[in-house]
Amino acid sequence: MRISVVMATYNGEKYIVEQIDSILNQSVKPDEIVIFDDGSQDGTWHILNLYKKKYPDIIYISQNEKTLGYGKNFWDAIHFATGEFIFLSDQDDIWYQDKIEKMSRVLVNNSGIMSLSTAYELINECGNVYQDIRNVVFKNNGALKRISWKKFMIHPKYPGMAMAIRRTLLDNIPSMLPNNISHDWFLNQYASMNGAMYLWDRILTQYRQHQANAVGSSASNRKIDEKIRRIRIVTEIKDSMEQLLEIFNQEDVSTTIKKFIDKLIYVSKIRIKNIEDERFLILILQDLRFHAYLTKRAILGDIYISFKVMKEKRKKQ
């Protein structure tokens, strides 16, 4: 079984050595590590060349002539990979030594899985594990669960750094990545629509949170206004759904799915408007009204931001 690891890099010199070493030290080695650099301005490209020189038979590197952006750079690297199983890797995390071995075993034993996401734990800039209530809570009990298209649309929080896909998934989705859509979200969306997206509740990756994260967990330590963060999160969901609906309108996708997406867009617009206008009571009442289109975590997040903003306003008075 040929295994590829795909990594997209950009100004990642601070942590990339730890990540690449954790991949090279796997109990089951990948057949290739494909790394596409998006025009780094720091020492990343130099580091990659050193690894290429040391491991010429396994590491392939390429640098874009112009910056493509995180998603499209990843997308090109994924399509360049030759493995039947393709593991996605960020430039700043750390893999457990048996990640490839264990995830590959699950994929081999479950031929219906096109996209497999696993649990992860958060680490800070120093590599120390920490807990945060805003992050997804994992039991780490090894449960394997199929994620339905509806559940994924409502709660699309399955980061690429914890994913592996089967090559056949690429044959079932559009070859071009739409603008402003994340590569991992796009892959999981189509896998879920084919009944082939799964979550394995086993921690196999340390997900590093720091100021320069391209995406990051909701529990990221980046200093950003909570209201702005909340609006950005909901806006990203709305924008992704609008683009997805545009794609689906040109494909043979069921009316049920299209109507559900349309409702998600509507609910997202209401949430954004209420947060912007700080109409928090209405925000919470509307969340409860449309609870079928929101996770409990989303509703609790809106309640949290409501109290957070009101508390800050009282301090200023």
Indicate which CATH number applies to the domain containing 174. 3.90.550.10
- Given 159, 174, 208, the domain boundary residue is 208
Is 220's pLDDT higher than 70? no
Domain that holds residue 19: 3-208
Co-location of 152 and 297 in the same domain: no
Task: Give the pair of three-digit tokens for residue 143.
Answer: 């449960």
Co-location of 111 and 250 in the same domain: no
The closest alpha carbon to 77, from 160, 199, 172, 189, belongs to: 160
Number of domains in the chain: 2
Lowest-confidence range among 101-115, 188-202, 225-239?
225-239
- Higher-confidence residue: 207 or 135? 207
Is 61's pLDDT higher than 60? yes
Q: Report yes or no on 216 lying in a domain.
A: no
Q: What percent of the chain is modeled with pLDDT above 90? A: 79
Q: Tell me what the mean pLDDT of segment 172-178 comes to.
A: 88
Is 224's pLDDT higher than 60? no
Co-location of 32 and 164 in the same domain: yes
Co-location of 133 and 240 in the same domain: no
pLDDT at 67: 93
pLDDT at 217: 46
Q: Tell me what the mean pLDDT of segment 166-178 comes to.
A: 91
Is 317's pLDDT higher than 90? no
Q: Tell me what the mean pLDDT of segment 124-138 comes to.
A: 87
Is 50's pLDDT higher than 90? yes
- Higher-confidence residue: 149 or 179? 149
pLDDT at 213: 53
Co-location of 265 and 307 in the same domain: yes
Helices 255-276, 226-248: axis angle to 10 degrees equals 160
Q: Tell me what the mean pLDDT of segment 45-55 comes to.
A: 98
SS3 sequence of the chain: CCEEEEEEECCCCCCHHHHHHHHHCCCCCCCEEEEEECCCCCCHHHHHHHHHHHCCCCEEEEECCCCCCHHHHHHHHHHHCCCCEEEEECCCCEECCCHHHHHHHHHHHCCCCCEEEEEEEEECCCCCEECCCCCCCCCCCCCEEECCHHHHHHCCCCCHHHEEEEHHHHHHCCCCCCCCCCHHHHHHHHHHHCCCEEEEEEEEEEEECCCCCCCCCCCCCCCCCHHHHHHHHHHHHHHHHHHHHHHHCCCCCCHHHHHHHHHHHHHHHHHHHHHHCCCHHHHHHHHHHCHHHCCHHHHHHHHHHHHHHHHHHHHHC
- Given 181, 208, 235, the domain boundary residue is 208
Q: Report yes or no on 220 lying in a domain.
A: no
Co-location of 165 and 290 in the same domain: no
Q: Tell me what the mean pLDDT of segment 115-139 comes to.
A: 90
- Given 208, 234, 257, the domain boundary residue is 208
pLDDT at 216: 45
- pLDDT tens digits, 247-289: 898 888 899 999 999 999 999 999 999 999 999 999 999 999 9
Co-location of 157 and 256 in the same domain: no
Whole-number average pLDDT of the chain = 92
pLDDT at 135: 79
Co-location of 38 and 176 in the same domain: yes
pLDDT at 192: 95
How many angstroms separate the CA atoms of 42 and 308, rounded? 37
Q: Report yes or no on 36 lying in a domain.
A: yes
Co-location of 187 and 231 in the same domain: no
Is 242's pLDDT higher than 80? yes
Co-location of 145 and 93 in the same domain: yes
Q: What percent of the chain is modeled with pLDDT above 70? A: 96
Is 178's pLDDT higher than 90? no
Q: Tell me what the mean pLDDT of segment 289-308 comes to.
A: 93
Q: Is residue 223 very low, low, confident or very high in pLDDT (cuts 50, 70, 90)? A: very low
- Higher-confidence residue: 113 or 312? 113
Co-location of 30 and 147 in the same domain: yes
Q: Report yes or no on 108 lying in a domain.
A: yes
pLDDT at 214: 52
pTM of the model: 0.89
C-alpha distance across the termini of the chain, in Å: 64
Q: Report yes or no on 55 lying in a domain.
A: yes
